[in-house]
Amino acid sequence: MKYRPKHIIEYLPLRIVCGLVGILPYRLGLGLAWGVARLAFSVGRWRRTEAVRRIRAVLGDTVTERDAQRIAWHSLRNMAFNLAETVYMGGARPRQLPQPVDMEDALDRFRAYVQAHPGRGGIFACPHMGNWELAGLVAPASHIDLFTITGQQKNPLVNAYMQRLRHSPGVELLARGTPNLLRKVLANLRAGKFLAIMPDLRSNQPGVPIHFFGTTANLYPGTAQFARQAGIPVFLAVMKRHGWTHHKLDLHGPFEPDPARSKTDDIAHLTQTIMTILDTEIRRDPAQWFWFNKRWILDPLPAAPPPAA
């Protein structure tokens, strides 16, 4: 059988909730998402406790237990809002957000780069802050030739549905595991396109050791590696949600690779530059970041199996 009962059980509630969000006015859709998040926050005690533990481990004495609970709640609520906005703007009846994203300063920075380097591509490093999905939804309207690399959900029904929602016209999606993926990414970048990629993901293989949150995080090298190989810069794109409906995009950079450095040193330096700014942004407003990621960014690498006797 193509789909397991577990797949259907997970898929149906998602479609029901998203279907309701899709037919409701914007604010009512967010209200429904708020209710679902509130239920999940109350019922999912283990996930809530783990998020609070992470927040207090990172922020230390600057937050109380009550502060950490509030940050965790807003982080989960924002994730529910993100999904609701993706449903509202994507799918069969796409619409625009009633409140436009505040991104003029970011666009001015981007336009200055394009004017100075016509035909040259770049990378947008989009961390898990605010509604990071909005980058792909507003880019085509801003005349940004964007593409991105997408992961695959374990549930094929959920994966197919979410890909349809996220596939904004004009944004190319490349699935991980696609044959010749690296070649395709580099060809796009050298052709002047822009790659949106998440920089704040822990690698489960030896990657780039980066100082982050006061300790060492093992991150994927992809963002800086693509920039180095294609000879193009990285912008750090930080999306923030203010209240329920206001969004602001801050753009940092461009940060250029340095061919005078060794490949390993250059990738580490470029990644560290991005993550140092991100560390500051998260500490400034920690509720903007998603603390519930199943793969915690500070988890150590899995222990290597002992050598065979």
Q: How many domains does the chain divide into? A: 1
For residue 2, being part of any structural domain is answered with no
Write down the pLDDT at residue 134. 81
Write down the pLDDT at residue 30. 93
Task: Over range 192-207, report the average pLDDT.
Answer: 90
| Chain segment 10-40, per-residue pLDDT in tens | 788 777 877 787 788 889 989 999 999 999 9
Residue written as tokens 């704040």?
Answer: 200
For residue 194, being part of any structural domain is answered with yes
Query: pLDDT tier at 6 (50, 70, 90 boundaries)?
Result: confident
Q: Is the pLDDT of residue 116 over 50?
A: yes
Secondary structure class of 266 (helix, strand, coil): helix
Query: Whole-angstrom Cα distance, residue 125 to residue 227?
Result: 11
Q: Which tokens go with 145?
A: 């030739």
Q: Kindly state the helix (H) or strand (E) to which residue 112 belongs, with its residue range.
A: helix 104-116
Q: Is the pLDDT of residue 93 over 80?
A: no
For residue 169, being part of any structural domain is answered with yes
| Chain segment 210-250, per-residue pLDDT in tens | 999 999 999 999 899 999 999 999 999 999 999 999 999 99
Q: Is the pLDDT of residue 1 over 50?
A: no
For residue 56, being part of any structural domain is answered with yes
Residue 172 has φ and ψ, to the nearest 5°, of -85, 130
| 90 within 8 A of 164, measured Cβ to Cβ | yes
Calculate the dihedral angle through the C-alpha atoms of 185, 186, 192, 198, rounding to the nearest 10 degrees: 50
Q: Is the pLDDT of residue 306 over 70?
A: no
For residue 309, being part of any structural domain is answered with no
Q: What is the mean pLDDT of the chain?
A: 87
More confident residue, 9 or 116: 116
Write down the pLDDT at residue 170. 65
Q: Is the pLDDT of residue 172 over 80?
A: no
Q: Which tokens go with 81?
A: 């809002």
Q: Kindly state the helix (H) or strand (E) to which residue 143 belongs, with its residue range.
A: none
Task: Over range 177-200, report the average pLDDT.
Answer: 89
Query: pLDDT tier at 91 (50, 70, 90 boundaries)?
Result: low
High-pLDDT (> 90) share of the chain, %: 55
| 21 within 8 A of 35, measured Cβ to Cβ | no
Q: Is the pLDDT of residue 277 over 60?
A: yes
Q: Which tokens go with 271?
A: 């990644």
Q: Which of 19-28, 116-125, 278-287 shows the lowest mean pLDDT across its residues?
A: 19-28
For residue 303, being part of any structural domain is answered with no
Domain span at 65: 7-288
For residue 1, being part of any structural domain is answered with no
Query: Whole-angstrom Cα distance, residue 245 to residue 100?
Result: 9
High-pLDDT (> 70) share of the chain, %: 88
More confident residue, 156 or 53: 53
Task: Over range 104-111, report the average pLDDT.
Answer: 89
Residue type (1 letter), 214: G
Write down the pLDDT at residue 166. 65
Counting every residue, how long is the chain?
A: 309
Write down the pLDDT at residue 19. 79
Q: Which tokens go with 223?
A: 């963002």
Residue type (1 letter), 149: I
For residue 300, being part of any structural domain is answered with no
Exposed/middle/buried for residue 254 (C-beta within 10 Å: 0-12, 13-18, 19+)? buried
Write down the pLDDT at residue 5. 75
**Which residues are paired to 255 by β-bridges?**
234
Query: Whole-angstrom Cα distance, residue 176 to residue 214?
Result: 31
Query: Whole-angstrom Cα distance, residue 193 to residue 147?
Result: 7
